[in-house]
A and B are shown apart, each in its own frame.
Chain A
């Protein structure tokens, strides 16, 4: 039996980051990816000849700067283009909320809706910057153990408490609001324009089965503000070559450090001896030995599929049942033969290079959620559109474009219906909605790919199609992610670790779970001598 120091289950961005760090530390590392292509949900695929798609995830912001530095990702092909705008066309076909990297241009545009709000925007951004400074260090720490008397754990809690205590009171109250309010309520504290509030509130619902008026969504708003590119907060970027470009750069870095990566090598189960992990069995029956196995799969897959039955405390296994996946989003990818033209802002412009939202009003978004609450996909959904080819022409033949649509809501559980029957009508609803803003859209479509939560579960192995490996709601964050007993990367099985988005600090192309997971493995393995030397 071939033996490694560490085997990583899943070649998504987190698994690859973990591999990179472990290989960099001199370990003999193997990554096993089930699919034919690396990246997991951050993969680029040519699903229509000549057109490349960021099939699932489509933009990046949270990727930790220290991972970029440590793994020397630019040297391995990481390039991120700026998304210079957020654009929210209005249904009247005339107006739009367009905020760009030009602050005075944004001021003028927003002033058309509310002069007051235009002036409040920089104040809001400043507040987010301040709060992020408090929250950001949490992203790179192992959540403290609330029950431990270990001085290190107590110190961590103390540090957090001190950070909170030394905050400006005004800021402190705002943090409490962010942790408890709905995105809309919180934004209404700041702004008056319903159009602006709607366009901003959608950051609070991405990847959750909640509405913009549901309490707790304000925090997700902050999660989206926390990203940084080149040290600039609230900067989102478009990876060259799609989000698969990021994964491939991490994979190349890991390989350069000596990691082995195998595709079409799905892991079926763990090999155990007692409660000690000894390796993995692949789907083809091949057995591979390892001192440590890191699962970048979600908690459901890790604990209910990879771990053989009967190995875990059934009580804890039961509490995982209440961990919320509830996939709520779908993806529609299109290849088109021309530039999409918006009625309200025809032609080429900065608005096409940025992030485009179909979110005309809070009521519209709530109605979209209402559909989902009762087991239907939204007839008129929230759509987050990017046209990567406007900035990165390598994704399609000259003059042609790809359009990526993240769509919410698409509940995993449809009432009395199956996604296999509803897939195309869901796709039609998305195209119909978009065509109200881009009249020429339907005629221009060469190819359409519709991904429902069920498709994402089947193809990418994410339970119930949840893009974050479980919702980013507060009750399943930090030391509660995925459940309190298993929140610190380690598991009850010796040698089994978690390094995916299902552990702190959660989803998004951030890489932090992979990085911190690997760090914990290294701590544990330090005592023992590597197996292969």
Chain B
């Protein structure tokens, strides 16, 4: 049975749809309302409030904390300043991705690592002979994501976030209790994540809710999040790639380069787990690449029209494996793993893993599509990720217009 998160009292009162799902052993709201589109637009037009407590959270303390982080993560945390946050992945010695997540540097002797899967064992294994203590703070820490163009205006009533830059954090007090606020999130937009001790979770929720009332704050669920994260081009473990911990065969595993996370691998830092294998791959090239796809609406329209049906588009993100074919030979060359109709972009977009020679921008493949009851093929073109990248994401103060997203 799943267990309630520290915010359960608040979220369950708001979840009028009774649509719940399980997320890492916790109850998580799929959508609060009958339809999730209001929640999607909250993320993009006002502010959506999402309980992200199920994330696994680890505190790493000690003289060798930095050493451990640099040994485990592909990214160079030595380059980070205190109170800076970074996105990274970590791999096994063969360079196969174990998980991805964010790392927050409080000081060279104190870090927090947030991950999708349990990571305690991996950290512990690699902390042997290091002067460092790894503590699992998952259960005792609540986490809220407040994401959207109005999130800054809302939070600035509670804390001094006006100057807080993208992927940085502040340690502050709200109503007298300790809260860490980081300018991070899974929406690719202006937004924050708030980390609080579980006992103060409901008080924090109330405070954010009250501050957001005049800004159309809305509680948002996983369905809305899944749409915005595809727009942002963010991959999801167990959906767009698999953690090698749970793979049975090597074929099922991925390296950072194969899932588009090569930019998080810092080869110029000292040794880290998987470095040798990754150096070799970097030299020789990767077999697979993760790409963004734009699926032809014209063709879809025609196919639906041939069945005398109106165009039917996925209003919620589908997760699965949809084969992609070479447009001439019809041989399978990859597979799409998540896709959605973006109401803001007015495009049908998807994330896909393809053989690297099909990863070039502009390459056109055929994607399997279900036209009512018929399996057909439609063109899917490789396009730049992220699909949506609003300037406000990194803005400080009022340097850019907050809405609409695309100007």
Residues of A near any B CB (own CB < 8 A): 102, 104-105, 107-108, 115-116, 118-120, 122-123, 126, 129-130, 168
Min CB distance B123 to A, Å, is 10
Q: Say whether A115 contacts B136, CB under 8 Å.
A: yes
Any chain A CB within 8 A of the CB of B246?
yes
> Across the two chains, which residue of chain B brings its CB closest to A350?
B1
Q: Say whether B25 contacts A119, CB under 8 Å.
A: no
Any chain A CB within 8 A of the CB of B22?
yes
Contacts A115-B118, A119-B118 aside, 6 further interface pairs with beta carbons under 8 A come to A102-B1, A116-B121, A119-B121, A120-B121, A122-B245, A123-B245
Q: Say whether B120 contacts A119, CB under 8 Å.
A: yes
Query: Which residue of B118, B120, B136, B250 has the most chain A CB atoms within 10 A of its CB atom?
Result: B118
Q: Say whether A107 contacts B1, CB under 8 Å.
A: no
> Across the two chains, which residue of chain A brings its CB closest to B247?
A126
Any chain A CB within 8 A of the CB of B2?
yes
A105, A123, A129: the one within 8 Å of B1 (CB): A105
Can you list, as one digit per residue, whether each of B1-32 has a CB less than 8 Å from chain A (1) or not (0)?
11100000000000000000010110000000
Chosen A-B contacts, 28 in total, with CB atoms closer than 8 Å, are: A102-B1, A102-B25, A104-B2, A104-B24, A104-B25, A105-B1, A107-B25, A107-B118, A108-B3, A115-B118, A115-B121, A116-B120, A116-B121, A116-B124, A118-B118, A119-B118, A119-B119, A119-B120, A119-B121, A119-B122, A120-B121, A122-B245, A122-B246, A123-B245, A126-B245, A126-B246, A126-B247, A130-B248
Contacts of B120 in A (CB 8 A): 115-116, 119
Q: Say whether A105 contacts B25, CB under 8 Å.
A: yes
In Å, the complex CA distance between A105 and B3 comes to 9
> Across the two chains, which residue of chain A brings its CB closest to B136?
A115
In Å, the complex CA distance between A116 and B126 comes to 13
Contacts of B2 in A (CB 8 A): 104
Q: Say whether A126 contacts B118, CB under 8 Å.
A: no
In Å, the complex CA distance between A352 and B222 comes to 34
Contacts of B122 in A (CB 8 A): 119
In Å, the complex CA distance between A105 and B2 comes to 7
Q: Say whether A129 contacts B124, CB under 8 Å.
A: no
Contacts of B124 in A (CB 8 A): 116
> Across the two chains, which residue of chain B brings its CB closest to A118?
B118
In Å, the complex CA distance between A107 and B1 comes to 11
Contacts of A108 in B (CB 8 A): 3, 25
> Across the two chains, which residue of chain A brings its CB closest to B246?
A122
Contacts of B248 in A (CB 8 A): 126, 129-130
> Across the two chains, which residue of chain B brings its CB closest to A106?
B25
Min CB distance A113 to B, Å, is 14
CB within 8 Å of A: which B109-159 residues: 118-122, 124, 136
In Å, the complex CA distance between A168 and B136 comes to 33
> Across the two chains, which residue of chain B brings its CB closest to A116?
B121
In Å, the complex CA distance between A126 and B253 comes to 14
In Å, the complex CA distance between A130 and B249 comes to 8
Contacts of B250 in A (CB 8 A): 168
In Å, the complex CA distance between A120 and B245 comes to 9
In Å, the complex CA distance between A104 and B5 comes to 14
Min CB distance B132 to A, Å, is 15
Can you list, as one digit per residue, whether each of B239-254 has a CB less than 8 Å from chain A (1) or not (0)?
0000001111010000
Contacts of B3 in A (CB 8 A): 108
In Å, the complex CA distance between A118 and B121 comes to 9
CB within 8 Å of A: which B21-68 residues: 22, 24-25
> Across the two chains, which residue of chain B brings its CB closest to A129?
B248
In Å, the complex CA distance between A485 and B136 comes to 58
Min CB distance A268 to B, Å, is 51
Min CB distance A507 to B, Å, is 28
In Å, the complex CA distance between A130 and B247 comes to 10
Contacts of B1 in A (CB 8 A): 102, 105
In Å, the complex CA distance between A115 and B122 comes to 11
Contacts of B119 in A (CB 8 A): 119
Can you list, as one digit per residue, whether each of B357-396 has a CB less than 8 Å from chain A (1) or not (0)?
0000000000000000000000000000000000000000
Contacts of A129 in B (CB 8 A): 248
In Å, the complex CA distance between A379 and B78 comes to 60
CB within 8 Å of A: which B240-271 residues: 245-248, 250
> Across the two chains, which residue of chain B brings its CB closest to A100?
B1
In Å, the complex CA distance between A118 and B38 comes to 39
Contacts of A104 in B (CB 8 A): 2, 22, 24-25
Contacts of A120 in B (CB 8 A): 121
Contacts of A119 in B (CB 8 A): 118-122
Min CB distance B185 to A, Å, is 24
Min CB distance B290 to A, Å, is 24
Can you list, as one digit per residue, whether each of B266-298 has a CB less than 8 Å from chain A (1) or not (0)?
000000000000000000000000000000000
Min CB distance A191 to B, Å, is 11
In Å, the complex CA distance between A231 and B3 comes to 29
> Across the two chains, which residue of chain B brings its CB closest to A102?
B1
> Across the two chains, which residue of chain B brings its CB closest to A108?
B25
Min CB distance A35 to B, Å, is 44
In Å, the complex CA distance between A152 and B118 comes to 49
In Å, the complex CA distance between A108 and B24 comes to 10
Contacts of B118 in A (CB 8 A): 107, 115, 118-119
Contacts of A168 in B (CB 8 A): 250
The 9 closest A-B pairs by CB, nearest first: A104-B25, A119-B121, A119-B118, A116-B121, A115-B120, A129-B248, A119-B120, A126-B248, A115-B136
In Å, the complex CA distance between A525 and B107 comes to 80
In Å, the complex CA distance between A126 and B92 comes to 16
Contacts of B121 in A (CB 8 A): 115-116, 119-120
Min CB distance A348 to B, Å, is 14
Contacts of A123 in B (CB 8 A): 245
Min CB distance B134 to A, Å, is 10
Contacts of A122 in B (CB 8 A): 245-246
In Å, the complex CA distance between A461 and B276 comes to 62
Min CB distance A242 to B, Å, is 29
In Å, the complex CA distance between A187 and B98 comes to 23
> Across the two chains, which residue of chain A brings its CB closest to B120?
A115
In Å, the complex CA distance between A118 and B2 comes to 16
Contacts of A118 in B (CB 8 A): 118
Query: Which residue of B1, B124, B136 has the most chain A CB atoms within 10 A of its CB atom?
Result: B1
Contacts of B247 in A (CB 8 A): 126
In Å, the complex CA distance between A116 and B2 comes to 21
In Å, the complex CA distance between A118 and B138 comes to 14
> Across the two chains, which residue of chain B brings its CB closest to A126?
B248
> Across the two chains, which residue of chain A brings its CB closest to B2?
A104
Min CB distance B242 to A, Å, is 12
In Å, the complex CA distance between A126 and B242 comes to 14
In Å, the complex CA distance between A119 and B24 comes to 13
> Across the two chains, which residue of chain A brings its CB closest to B24?
A104
In Å, the complex CA distance between A516 and B397 comes to 77
> Across the two chains, which residue of chain A brings its CB closest to B22?
A104
In Å, the complex CA distance between A118 and B246 comes to 14
In Å, the complex CA distance between A123 and B119 comes to 13
In Å, the complex CA distance between A126 and B247 comes to 8
In Å, the complex CA distance between A168 and B248 comes to 12
In Å, the complex CA distance between A264 and B368 comes to 62
CB within 8 Å of A: which B289-336 residues: none
Contacts of B22 in A (CB 8 A): 104
Min CB distance A265 to B, Å, is 48
Min CB distance B101 to A, Å, is 15
Contacts of A102 in B (CB 8 A): 1, 25
> Across the two chains, which residue of chain A brings its CB closest to B139?
A108
In Å, the complex CA distance between A123 and B118 comes to 12
In Å, the complex CA distance between A129 and B2 comes to 26
Min CB distance A374 to B, Å, is 41
> Across the two chains, which residue of chain B brings its CB closest to A119?
B121
In Å, the complex CA distance between A245 and B245 comes to 39
Min CB distance B5 to A, Å, is 13
In Å, the complex CA distance between A107 and B245 comes to 15
Min CB distance B308 to A, Å, is 40
In Å, the complex CA distance between A105 and B136 comes to 17
> Across the two chains, which residue of chain A brings its CB closest to B3?
A108
In Å, the complex CA distance between A119 and B25 comes to 14
In Å, the complex CA distance between A126 and B248 comes to 6
Contacts of B24 in A (CB 8 A): 104
